[in-house]
Amino acid sequence: MADLYELLGVPRDASQDDIKRAYRAKARELHPDANPDDPDAEHHFKEVAQAWEVLRDPEKRARYDRFGDAGIGGAGQPGGGDPFAGFGGVGDIFDAFFGGQSPFGGGGAGRSGPMRGPDLEVVTELDFTEAVFGAQHKVDVRTAVACEVCDATGATPGTSATTCADCGGAGQVRRVRQSLLGQMVTTAACPRCNGAGEVIADPCGNCAGEGRTLQDRSFTVDIPPGVDAASTLRLQGRGAAGPRGGPPGDLYVHFRVRPHDVFRRDGVDLHADLHIPVTQAMLGAEVEFETLDGTEAVTVPPATPTGHVFRFRGKGVPVVNRGGRGDLHLHVVIDLPRDLTEEQEELVRRLAELRGEPVAEETRGFFTKLRTAFK
């Protein structure tokens, strides 16, 4: 391959700004669109692009200055390396220098068919268990659908659209302007046909020439297990229809989840309170707890304190689209009795006496008053 500096026409001590200016000039001069009759134009253009790719990077440039082509791994040699590495392709080069359009008017992001319809968004509310285990849910949306009268053409039945005279059906018109790089040719949507490439002389009366009408539609959505309030489901092709037969956009379903009376969610983990009486906390017990999956036996060891957490692996929320589940965490809450009888109070006082724990002298009637206060 020729010397990279010679390809750009700059000395070896050229500054980065000089290299950039030289590349811009060469890219404009050698671009295939500017040389339609030169079969070697694309090859020369790629050589210049390769030179820019190496010399614009200080590290690559230093390796090239020291080792030549070997310092850049043979990139640019026949069969070696991508001459547009670091870019997405020729389009990205012009996106960096010319605002995303080829300065020659050819190629670029021209029209390739009818305009796509807009995306739609809808919010739906789920029960807590629906979000955890998934469900089928009905979604209502007002959307644009293909006009049945004109079969989405936008023209009165029996007539048809005609090619736009201003753009010749391209949907775009070219404009010439002066820039720092000289005369530039850019493209823009045709103002007469709004980029459609066609003009309708006799529009359909049902859709006013749009080729689509507004309707209320309902979809049954398959909600995967594990979604939460931060989840969004994308339904391809369920958005609004495009004008005059254009493809539909997408429908984005956002979720709201109603809270649960028992369970709290933290990511894929579930948390709940396990209420047990003081006697079971002191002496231990086997209790049952109703999880979202069914009844679970919980072994409470003696002297279990408030705040102790029992963890049940795999009883939490499914991981969306990945398999596996989070855990269930049961937080112990010890409930004190509020309705002790006199006999029960005496037993508690006796326990306190045996443990040497001082208590109030007279408490009879206190629990009765307490029970009444909380009714």
The per-residue pLDDT for range 213-224, each reduced to its tens digit, is 999 999 899 999
- The whole-number pLDDT of residue 76 equals 41
Please answer whether residues 242 and 115 qualify as being in contact, where contact means their C-beta atoms are separated by less than 8 angstroms.
yes
The band of 136, judged by pLDDT with boundaries at 50, 70 and 90, is very high
- Mention every residue, 6+ apart, whose C-beta is less than 8 A from residue 332: 273, 274, 276, 281, 300, 304, 305, 306, 307, 308, 309, 310
Domain 4-98 coded CATH 3.20.20.150: no
pLDDT value at residue 32 = 67
Q: For residue 302, give the nearest of 287, 288, 281, 286 by alpha carbon.
A: 281
SS3 content of the chain, % helix, strand, coil (to 5): 25, 30, 45
pTM of the prediction? 0.57
Can you read off the two tokens belonging to residue 370? 């307490």
Residue closest to 25 by CA, chosen among 11, 45, 4, 1: 45
With H, G, I as helix, E, B as strand and everything else as coil, classify residue 87: coil
DSSP-derived letter for residue 258 is: P
Q: Name the residue ranges covered by the structural domains of the chain.
A: 4-98, 114-156+204-258, 264-335, 342-373
What whole-number distance in Å separates Cα of residue 202 and Cα of residue 159? 7
Averaged pLDDT for residues 114-142: 91
pLDDT band of 229, cuts 50, 70, 90: confident
CA–CA gap between residue 187 and residue 174 (Å, rounded): 4
Share of the chain above pLDDT 90, in %: 44
- On whether the CB atoms of residues 251 and 141 are closer than 8 A, the answer is yes
CATH number of the domain located at residue range(s) 264-335 in this protein: 2.60.260.20
What tokens appear for 362 in the block? 């007279």
Contact by Cβ (8 Å): 27, 48:
yes
- Are the folds of 4-98 and 114-156+204-258 the same? no
Give the mean model confidence (pLDDT) for residues 215-239: 90
114-156+204-258 — its CATH code? Answer: 2.60.260.20
User: What is the predicted pLDDT for the residue at 369?
Assistant: 53
pLDDT for residue 91: 42
Token pair 């995303």 in the structure block, residue? 100
Per-residue pLDDT, 71: 67
Which one-letter amino acid corresponds to residue 36?
Answer: P
Tokens 């304190």 label which residue? 305
pLDDT of residue 107: 42
